[in-house]
Amino acid sequence: MRAAASLNLFRKAADVLRLNDMGGWTRAAPQLYPHQWSWDAGFIAVGLAHLDTGRAARELLGLFEHQWKNGKVPHIVFNPHAPAESYFPGPEHWVSAGLFPDAPPAPPYTSALCQPPTQALGAIRIWKTAPRGDRDAAHSFLREIYPKLLRWHRYLATARDPEGSGLVTIYHPWESGTDNSPRWDAPLRAVEVGDLPPYRRRDLGHVDDPSERPTDREYARYIWLVEKIKETRCDEAKIYGSHPFLVKDVLFSAILVAANEALLEICEVLGECVTERDEVSAWIERGRKGLESRLDPGTNLCLDHDVLAGTPIHARTVAGFAPLIAGSLPPKRLAGTMETLYSPDFLGHPALRRALPPSTSPNQPGFHPRSYWRGPVWPVAVWLIWWSLLRAGEHERAEDLRSTALDEFSAGHFAEYYEPFTGEPLGSDDQSWTAAVVLDWLATE
């Protein structure tokens, strides 16, 4: 991309983050997503780090102001000024401050779910990109956020993995961030939905084609799982003993491994945390072993595990590259992963407009090129693969992926996701985390 075009795209991406800046935190998008989502915030901080060190730091510190007493970071912090009809299920559906003993004071209200822990990745990127004049402020930020990150990761390593498997258990597809992925088809089919109060979906009003969004049947199961969590008052032990959806999520687990590595980097910067280093290192080792135990040798993909059924979930999705995201793959395993990534199941599929990883393989039953996580290309998923290739020493492949991504997304829109065969922007426009990863790709130039 030529310098003038890169600068113009950089400015447009920065404008999206300014458009969505709510004064200390960033909404995910102007219309469909008027609240703060937790794993979005990690990616957004990566982008903001290239614009304003202090503002990037506030993005994460603001999120952690709503951390639960048990260490959990809620997947949504609701914007109290957003219209009640803007998003469902909204704060009135969760009423977390009164219903859940561990929830923080409200308003603002939070959800009772969580999402992959990208925040430590954003925190260390803020430190690494801080200009010389901001180094002291960035160091102070790391000192402030480190204990919050540690409590968050400890919650995931204990409450969400009581077996000590190294793999995080999710209670709801929304916790994965990949809501309607084929990864969840089998465990969702086993969920029997009871009586639900009437509700009206808000998301369908923001798309022209309803097939882009989860089906009504999927949505009913989503809401039913929320109701079951509310019944337990979010008691982790009760959920583990009675909840109808318990899945070991390999993508979530891989991001936790990478986030724990970032946590160790923060320890090195601070020159402290001696007592916790062994604990965090053990989480990393346990996580990688857990992911290795879920490898499917036939596809070289890592498979989620249905805890209740006691079976692996066979689905060819971008989550299968979890060990690459976790890092430190031995050469033979890395070679097998590269073979699958560049095979006709993913980047080598002949019908792709550009060689970018679709969220679900076009050869997977249930693939749909326009339906949310069932096929479209997500810029944040592309960023994760690119970043993982860099960490694996695959610099040429990483650069090819970065330049291809910028070619695909250079038309603007900063869409939520893209049709893999045509490149058509889909979902919500002016998506903050899309703009953020574009900023990070451009900053490498």
pLDDT of residue 307: 98
Reply yes or no on whether 416 is catalytic: yes
We report the CATH number of the domain holding residue 94 as: 1.50.10.10
Question: pLDDT value at position 205?
Answer: 64
pLDDT confidence of residue 97: 53
pLDDT of residue 412: 67
Helix (H, G, I), strand (E, B) or coil at 344: coil
Asked if residues 76 and 49 have their Cβ atoms less than 8 Å apart, the reply is: no
| Residue 179 among the catalytic residues | yes
At residue 214, the pLDDT reads 81
Which residue's structure tokens are 């997947």? 75
8 Å CB contact between 378 and 359: yes
Kindly state the DSSP code that residue 73 receives in the 8-state scheme. P
Q: What is the DSSP string of 394-421?
A: -HHHHHHHHHHHHHHHTTS---SEE-TT
Dist. CA 326–CA 340, nearest whole Å: 17
pLDDT recorded at residue 96: 59
Beta-sheet strands, E only, within 232-382: 247-249, 295-296, 301-302, 305-306, 311-312
DSSP 226-271: HHHHHHTTT-HHHHHHH-S--EEEHHHHHHHHHHHHHHHHHHHHHT
Virtual torsion, Cα 288, 291, 293, 299, nearest 10 deg: -130
Q: How, if at all, do strands 301-302 and 295-296 pair? A: antiparallel
Closest CA to 236 of 310, 163, 162: 162
Radius of gyration of the chain, Cα coordinates, nearest whole angstrom: 20
From the candidates 59, 212, 408, 416, give the one annotated as an active-site residue: 416
Domains held by the chain: number: 1
Q: Left, alpha or beta for 364 (phi > 0: left; psi -120 to 50: alpha)?
A: beta
Buried b (16+ CB within 10 A) or exposed e, 332-371: eebebbbebbebebbbebeebeebbbbbbbbebebbbbbb
- d(C-alpha 230, C-alpha 317), whole Å: 30
The per-residue pLDDT for 264 is 97
Which of 59, 134, 175, 179 is the catalytic position?
Answer: 179
Is residue 428 within 8 A of residue 31, CB to CB? The reply is yes
320: containing domain: 3-443
pLDDT 10s digit of each residue in the chain, 445 long?
Answer: 788 899 999 999 999 999 999 999 999 999 889 999 999 999 999 999 999 999 999 999 999 999 999 999 999 999 999 987 778 888 888 875 568 999 999 889 999 999 999 999 999 999 999 999 999 999 999 999 999 999 999 999 999 999 999 999 999 999 999 999 999 999 999 999 999 877 777 676 656 677 777 888 888 999 999 999 999 999 999 999 999 999 999 999 999 999 999 999 999 999 977 789 999 999 999 999 999 999 999 999 999 999 999 999 999 999 999 999 999 999 999 999 999 999 999 999 999 999 999 999 999 999 999 999 999 999 999 999 999 999 999 999 999 999 999 999 988 689 999 999 999 999 999 999 999 999 999 998 7
Q: Which two tokens stand for residue 327?
A: 């890092």
- The SS3 of residue 305 is strand
25, 62 Cβ separation under 8 angstroms: yes
Residue 180: count other Cβ atoms within 10 Å of its Cβ: 24
Residue type, 371: S
User: What is the per-residue pLDDT for 208?
Assistant: 67
**In Å, how far are 115, 249, 314 from 78, measured between CA atoms?**
15, 25, 35
